[in-house]
Amino acid sequence: MLTYNAPIYVLRSIWGLKTKTTTPNFTYELVVVDNKSKNPTRALLFMLQLFGMIDKLYFNSNNDLFAGGNNIAASLASKDSSLLLLLNSDIKIVDSDWLFNLYSRHESGVTAYGLVDNPRRADGYCYLVDASLYKKYPLDEEYQWWWSITKQQAMILQENVVRAYRDHETQLHHYGGKSGKGYKDARGMDIDLAQVKKWFKSGNRVKELKF
What percent of the chain clears pLDDT 90, i.e. is strictly above it? Answer: 89
Distance between CA atoms of 185 and 20, rounded to whole angstroms?
35
Distance between CA atoms of 130 and 137, rounded to whole angstroms?
11
pTM for the predicted model, two decimal places: 0.96
- Average pLDDT on 27-34 reads 97
The range of the structural domain enclosing residue 20 comes to 2-209
Total structural domains within the chain: 1
pLDDT at 65: 96
Q: Is the pLDDT of residue 110 over 90?
A: yes
pLDDT at 47: 98
CATH number of the domain encompassing residue 165: 3.90.550.10
pLDDT tens digit string along 41-58?
999 999 999 999 999 999
* Cβ pair 124, 114 in contact under 8 A: yes
DSSP letter at 206 equals: P
Distance between CA atoms of 61 and 153, rounded to whole angstroms?
28
| Average pLDDT of the residues of the chain | 95
Q: In terms of Cα–Cα distance, which of 81, 186, 187, 96 is closest to 134?
A: 81
Query: Cα torsion for 52, 3, 197, 159, to the nearest 10°?
Result: -20
- Average pLDDT on 120-125 reads 96
